[in-house]
Amino acid sequence: MQGIKDWWLKFAPKHKLIAQFIKFYAFSMLVTVFQYLVLTFLPGVFYRFTDWCDIPCQLIHLALGPVDTYVFNYPVTGDATGGMGYFAAFAITLFLAQCINFPMQRNITFRSRGNVYYQMAWYAVAFVLITVACSFLMGLYVPFCKQYFSPAVYNILITVINGGVQMVIYFPIYKIIFPESEAKSGR
């Protein structure tokens, strides 16, 4: 382990952007694993203890040419993978993941010391916009995943695809929210 640490301490200052992306990616993957674990059991909790999975949750209808979908499309499925129960599990999981991700990215990856309230506000705006965009995309591929894969595989696919798309979008957003000048002045 000491060899890896020594290599990293030489590599990171020379290749700051790559080092930031590696840390960003590592933290994002940890959060993705967390999301998968929570999304594996939380829908079952809602299914078992509430009737929320029997309530359809189809919000923000979009009809764009051949695409007729909802941004948040969780119809009743008769099990834990649908309705308001699954939507609530999905929303809670995303929120908890961001509560973990924000401080790790801000304080460790970007070492930002900017105004935390300002950064949280912009992070929240980015989170909402990215979540809506990714949810729209999910409306396109989730029906396929549900039709051809078991719930365990389905949840992995949803988490990896959604998490992957979000990682690609979030890194440049974080570079804006946590600018270099703040990171340098805070050391």
Q: Provide mean pLDDT across the span 144-172.
A: 83
CA torsion 139→140→143→149, rounded to 10°?
-110
User: How many CA within 13 A on the CB side of residue 7?
Assistant: 4
* 72 neighbors 58 (Cβ within 8 angstroms): yes
Size of the chain in residues: 187
The answer to whether the CB of 1 falls within 8 A of the CB of 67 is no
Taking 70 as the threshold, does the pLDDT of residue 181 lie above it? no
State the amino acid at position 47 in one-letter form.
Y
What Rg value do the Cα atoms of the chain yield, rounded? 19
Query: What are the backbone angles phi and psi of residue 148, rounded to the nearest 5°?
Result: -110, -5
Q: What is the mean pLDDT of residues 55-74?
A: 87
The pLDDT score that the predictor gives to residue 165 is 84
- Percentage of the chain exceeding pLDDT 90: 57
d(CA 173, CA 150): 34
CA distance 35 to 119: 23
> Is the pLDDT at 134 greater than 80, yes or no?
yes
DSSP 111-173: ---S-HHHHHHHHHHHHHHHHHHHHHHHHHHHHHHHHHS-HHHHHHHHHHHHHHHHHHHHHHH
Say what the pLDDT of residue 81 is.
85
